[in-house]
């Protein structure tokens, strides 16, 4: 019964408990069971060997339709269902598919790195791990003559090479002009009657101070910077920290002019001047279209050196020497090739030829000698002898080749 003047206190409402969740049905009702992931539920089912209808019901819940379930899931442990991403580009036409196929054929294949696994029978299995593989060593271990080559010329050591990249660095125009001019200078010395014995002292007088300066510039960096600033247009960038090619040029010319007969020495220096320039020029222009003989040497460059060598020998022995009169001192420096070639007597007797049949002269002898000169010029340009500069190897090897040939057949 309520008292007048005081508000009535309402009765406590009755709270009805909701139905138990599936997780509460699995365990003891007296204890609290936390949320169970699907992977844990599967492990429990696999351990007990029974399948709960409630869990099968949970498997069929569309989580994409319930944002609460999608937000509560742990992405790293139970990834969401894969969704189909719409295409960003339209479908390729047959022409586009053909172009992509050709591009994929041209593109270099990515070689995965390989892991070796030892099998039970002792063999080794190779498996790819998805990484790029380092370069493999050659299949046949040991030294290969193809490995002998000077390093390619870099860019950036000599400032003038950066400013005139094509003119000086790529095509080496000033260096080649100096190279070619030496051959014409030797021709002028020959037709003016200068003997080789008179040239060698001047070459040695130039070689000693140039080699000394080269040694000093490699010892003192400040002098080296001043040197390449003045003469960098005639140098290769590999010569910035190495011996200048002029030293080898003077040394090679001095050797052939001092030790070989006059005609062999003159032709050797001309081969150095013109064959080396031709090989470098045509090798840079057309070397990529022809087979490579060795690193840095192509068939185009070697064939150009061969043709220029044949033309040089034929021009000197066939036209310059006959047109040039005799000079004082020529009797002390006689020619080794006098327009006659013959087989050695023991070879002629073995094959049944008399002396007249084993002898050739005139145009035939000149042609044979010219072909041999071109061959030794191309060969000396290709060979990289112990890493020596070709300004030294070309005249020396060419002189040895021609001198040996004339020693046997001349």
d(CA 400, CA 378) in angstroms, rounded, equals: 14
Other Cβ atoms closer than 10 A to 283? 24
Q: What is the per-residue pLDDT across 200-230, written as a single tens digit (0 to 9) for each? A: 999 999 999 999 999 999 999 999 889 888 8
Residue 405 lies in a domain: yes
d(CA 278, CA 285) in angstroms, rounded, equals: 11
Residue 13's pLDDT is: 67
Q: What is the mean pLDDT of the segment spanning 145-159? A: 54
* Higher per-residue confidence, 353 vs 107: 353
- The domain tally of the chain equals 1
Q: What is the mean pLDDT of the segment spanning 296-324? A: 93
d(CA 54, CA 52) in angstroms, rounded, equals: 5
Q: What is the mean pLDDT of the segment spanning 25-44? A: 63
Residue 364 lies in a domain: yes
Domain hosting residue 341, numbered range: 159-409
The residues facing 128 across adjacent strands are 114
Residue 366 lies in a domain: yes
Residue 144's pLDDT is: 43
Q: What is the per-residue pLDDT across 8-19, written as a single tens digit (0 to 9) for each? A: 677 676 666 555
Residue 93 lies in a domain: no
**pLDDT mean across residues, the chain:** 75
Residue 78's pLDDT is: 44
Residue 206 lies in a domain: yes
Write the secondary structure of the chain as one string of H (helix), E (strand) and C (coil): CCCCCCCCCCCCCCCCCCCCCHHHHHCCCCCCCCCCCHHHHHHHHHHHCCCCHHHHHHHCCCHHHCHHHHHHCCCCCCCCCCCCCCCCCCCCCHHHHHHHHHHHHHCCCCCEEEEEEECCCCCEEEEEEEEECCCCCCCCCCCCHHHCCCCCCCCCCCHHHHHCHHHHHHCCHHHHHHHHHHHHHHHHHHHCCCCHHHHHHHHHHHHHHHHHHHHHHHHCHHHHHHHHHHHHHHCCHHHCCCCCHHHHHHHHHHHHHHHCCHHHHHHHHHHHHHHHHHHHHHHHHHHHHCCEEECCEEHHHHHHHHHHHHHHHHHHHHHHHHHCCCCCCHHHCCCCCCCEEECCHHHHHHHCCCCCCCEEEHHHHHHHHHHHHHHHHHHHHHCCCCCCCHHHHHHHHHHHHHHHHHHHHC
**In the structure encoding, which two tokens stand for residue 59, read together?**
């498997």
Contacts of 405 (CB under 8 A, 6+ apart): 369, 372, 376
- Least confident interval from 32-36, 119-123, 203-207, 225-229: 119-123
Residue 149's pLDDT is: 34
**In the structure encoding, which two tokens stand for residue 167, read together?**
């003119």
Q: What is the per-residue pLDDT across 334-381, written as a single tens digit (0 to 9) for each? A: 888 988 898 888 888 888 888 888 889 889 999 999 999 999 999 998
Residue 396 lies in a domain: yes
Confidence of residue 136 (pLDDT cuts 50, 70, 90): low
Q: What is the per-residue pLDDT across 46-99, written as a single tens digit (0 to 9) for each? A: 777 655 444 444 444 444 444 444 444 444 444 445 555 445 555 555 555 555
Residue 336 lies in a domain: yes
Q: What is the mean pLDDT of the segment spanning 101-109? A: 50
d(CA 69, CA 53) in angstroms, rounded, equals: 20
Residue 214 lies in a domain: yes
Residue 161's pLDDT is: 79
């Amino acid at each position: 019964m309520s008292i007048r003047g005081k508000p009535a206190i309402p009765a406590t409402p009755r709270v009805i408990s909701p139905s138990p969740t599936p997780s509460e049905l699995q365990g003891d009702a007296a204890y609290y069971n936390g949320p169970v992931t699907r992977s844990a539920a599967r492990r429990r089912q696999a351990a007990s060997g029974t399948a709960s209808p409630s869990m099968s019901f949970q498997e069929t819940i569309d989580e994409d339709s319930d944002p609460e379930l999608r937000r509560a899931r742990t992405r790293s442990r139970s990834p969401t269902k894969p969704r189909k991403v719409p295409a960003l580009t339209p479908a390729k036409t047959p022409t586009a598919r053909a172009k992509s196929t050709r591009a994929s054929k041209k593109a270099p294949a990515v070689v995965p790195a390989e892991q070796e696994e030892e099998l039970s029978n002792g063999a080794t299995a190779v498996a790819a791990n998805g990484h790029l593989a380092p370069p493999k060593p050659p299949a046949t271990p040991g030294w290969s003559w193809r490995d002998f080559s000077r390093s390619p010329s870099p860019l950036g050591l000599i400032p003038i090479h950066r400013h005139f990249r094509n003119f000086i660095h790529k095509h080496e125009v000033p260096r080649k002009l100096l190279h070619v001019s030496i051959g014409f200078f030797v021709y002028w010395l020959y037709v003016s009657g200068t003997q080789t014995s008179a040239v060698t002292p001047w070459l040695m007088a130039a070689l000693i101070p140039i080699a000394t300066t080269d040694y000093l510039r490699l010892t003192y960096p400040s002098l080296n910077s001043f040197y390449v600033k003045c003469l960098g247009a005639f140098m290769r960038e590999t010569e910035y920290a190495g011996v200048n090619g002029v030293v080898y040029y003077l040394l090679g010319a001095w050797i052939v002019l001092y030790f070989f007969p006059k005609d062999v020495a003159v032709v050797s220096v001309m081969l150095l001047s013109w064959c080396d320039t031709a090989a470098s020029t045509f090798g840079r222009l057309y070397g990529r279209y022809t087979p490579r003989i060795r690193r840095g040497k192509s068939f185009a460059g070697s064939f150009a050196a061969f043709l220029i060598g044949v033309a040089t020998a034929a021009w000197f022995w066939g036209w310059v020497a006959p047109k040039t009169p005799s000079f004082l001192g020529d009797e002390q420096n006689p020619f080794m090739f006098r327009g006659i070639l013959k087989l050695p007597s023991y070879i002629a007797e073995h094959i049944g030829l008399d002396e007249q049949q084993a002898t050739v002269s005139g145009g035939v002898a000149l042609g044979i000698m010219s072909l041999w000169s071109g061959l030794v010029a191309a060969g000396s340009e290709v060979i990289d002898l112990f890493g020596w500069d070709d300004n030294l190897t070309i005249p020396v090897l060419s002189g040895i080749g021609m001198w040996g040939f004339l020693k046997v057949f001349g």
